[in-house]
Amino acid sequence: MFSPELDFDKFVAAVKDLPLIDITESIALELRAAKPGRESARYCEMLRGLRYLLDTGQRPSNVEDWEFAKLRPVVESLVSRGTLLPSALDVFISR
């Protein structure tokens, strides 16, 4: 696991500079490795939200407004490396 303590910020820091395919594989590995339970539930929801954002380019409905900004560093990194178009950041503009 990238974050045995289920810290989403640490997960993002560990994967944000990886290629997109490696990020999505890391999300899948984390989801499989997380033990079911109350403490892992929010962590898994954030991982699923990140996967949804990367797959669709749309804001995930399962991520609270105050947590959504935590996904931005991954998208910014992918945009800066030319993997995603700059318009991928539009989802972070306040509604």
pLDDT of residue 94: 67
Q: What pLDDT digit, counting tens, does each position of 6-31 carry?
A: 999 999 999 999 999 999 999 999 99
**Across residues 45-54, what is the average pLDDT?**
97
Q: How confident is the model at residue 36 (pLDDT cuts 50, 70, 90)?
A: confident
Residue 49 lies in a domain: yes
Query: What DSSP assignment string belongs to the chain?
Result: ---TT--HHHHHHHHTTS-HHHHHHHHHHHHHHSPSSHHHHHHHHHHHHHHHHHHHSS--TTS-HHHHGGGHHHHHHHHHTTSS-GGGGGGGS--
Answer yes or no: is 1 within a domain: no
**% of the chain at pLDDT higher than 90:** 80
Q: Which residues constitute the domain of residue 17?
A: 8-92
Is the pLDDT at 95 greater than 60? The verdict is: no
Number of independent structural domains in the chain = 1
